[in-house]
Amino acid sequence: MDKLVIEGGVKLKGEVTISGAKNAVLPILAATLLTDDACIIKGVPDLRDTNTMIRILRSLGKSADLEKGIVSISTLKKTGYVADYKLVSTMRASFCVLGPLLGKLKKAKVSLPGGCVIGVRPVDLHLKGIKALGADINIESGYVIAKAQELKGNHIYLGGVYGSSVLATDNVMMAAVLANGKTVIESAACEPEVVDLAEFLVKMGAKIKGQGTPIIEIEGVKRLHGATHTIIPDRIEAGTMILAALITRGDILIKNVSYKHLGALIDRLEEAGAGLVKTDNSMHVRYKNELKAINVTTLPYPGFPTDMQAQMMSLMSVTPGISVITEKIYPDRFMHVAELNRMGAHIQREGPHAIVEGIKELSGAPVMASDLRASACLALAGLAAKGKTSISRIYHLERGYENIEEKLEKLGAKVWREKE
């Protein structure tokens, strides 16, 4: 197993191009199960998670290959309905094959999911929505078994304790496109990735209105056909690169970025005094003056993304003053706090709040990544720290950031891999 080693203290400079959005491409790949026709998905990042989803599609009877950012998908044999534990257990997003399998075949057997350890993330909203469409659901030996003679449109409220659910919205939307009648999803997730999935489904012949709002309306159709689609830029990778420029006091031009997807992050950074110049598809980030501490609260989109919470904490740990970071999506998503403190940060956790007292400089140290975004947080901290930082369990990083080492190296970072 490899670890990532970073020699900190280098101001990052240059240009970087953002890859396609991981959280958009995974459900879109799953949606190809809704048709026997060929589909072509462009702008696909070569990630551990992407390749896991491709293996799942192959296990279900599809031919799927990723080459130069393009996945070509066709039907090799009759679509299977069992998504195996060995694959689904490694990645939570793979649970979104439930909706399309049930919609197409009227039956599905999908392992309960795995993924990052960032607190309890039940699938109750997924099952609530699927049941409302008329499916019978049982949980046996770690599998969700869903069956229906016919799926029927319904009015479904999908709000949860911590707000809307992206994957539950995806699952219910994919099941509903082939249901009989009209489905209304209330308290639907509004994230750009949900909109991207909806737009792909529309290209396939689905009838969907209201994507990007809390109420999505779906009129079921008899069948879907193949389509070609290009994935939106990854707003979380873009946000991470913005913070990389600021935490290293650097100067980076970020290409293939949709700043309209980053409103809450940009708002907080401008409040902190960051210099950001935006265009239609790029962003120039230049560190000009010392930043000031700010408070951040994660919320469902368009609020501040929980997937940027850990990275923002790295920046605030070296920003003068005291900031309070509140996690309202996954209250247990603070496993990176202890690792940042190992690097000299002054962070104290109080329930869903992290109180960060900014210091002048972090110190390199051996640290361990607990999840995808925590690994990015520690990489940012390592870029800014004095000395060497070694990050174990970097397979988490590979799940969501395409060619991250190469991209950082091109910006001047001193980063390399070593065997554990």
DSSP classification of residue 45: -
Mean pLDDT of 155-180: 95
Say if 2-19+233-419 and 22-230 have the same CATH topology: yes
Distance from C-alpha of 80 to C-alpha of 246, rounded to nearest angstrom: 48
What residue ranges do the domains of the chain occupy? 2-19+233-419, 22-230
Instruction: Collapse the DSSP code of 323 into the 3-class scheme (helix H, G, I; strand E, B; otherwise coil) and give the result.
Output: strand
Residue whose C-alpha is closest to residue 51's, from 16, 25, 77, 80: 25
> Which residues are part of the catalytic machinery?
116
Residue whose C-alpha is closest to residue 187's, from 129, 146, 124: 129
- What is the per-residue pLDDT for 21? 98
Which pair of tokens denotes residue 358?
């900014």
Mean pLDDT of 231-255: 98
Indicate the average pLDDT of the chain.
95
What's the pTM? 0.96
Question: pLDDT tens digits, residue range 145-165?
Answer: 999 999 999 999 999 888 899
Contact assessment for residue 222 and residue 14, using Cβ atoms and an 8 Å cutoff: no
CATH number given to 22-230: 3.65.10.10
- What is the per-residue pLDDT for 161? 85
Distance from C-alpha of 15 to C-alpha of 245, rounded to nearest angstrom: 11
| Residue located via tokens 């891999």 | 417
Contact assessment for residue 256 and residue 266, using Cβ atoms and an 8 Å cutoff: no
Tell me the CA distances in angstroms from 55 to 7, 71, 167, 211, 333, one per residue in order.
36, 12, 19, 29, 29
**2-19+233-419 fold:** UDP-n-acetylglucosamine1-carboxyvinyl-transferase; Chain (3.65.10)
Q: Edge to edge, what strands does the sheet with 2-7 contain?
A: 366-368, 388-392, 2-7, 414-419
Residue whose C-alpha is closest to residue 63's, from 73, 55, 53: 73
Tell me the CA distances in angstroms from 236 to 24, 189, 259, 269, 338, one per residue in order.
11, 17, 11, 15, 23
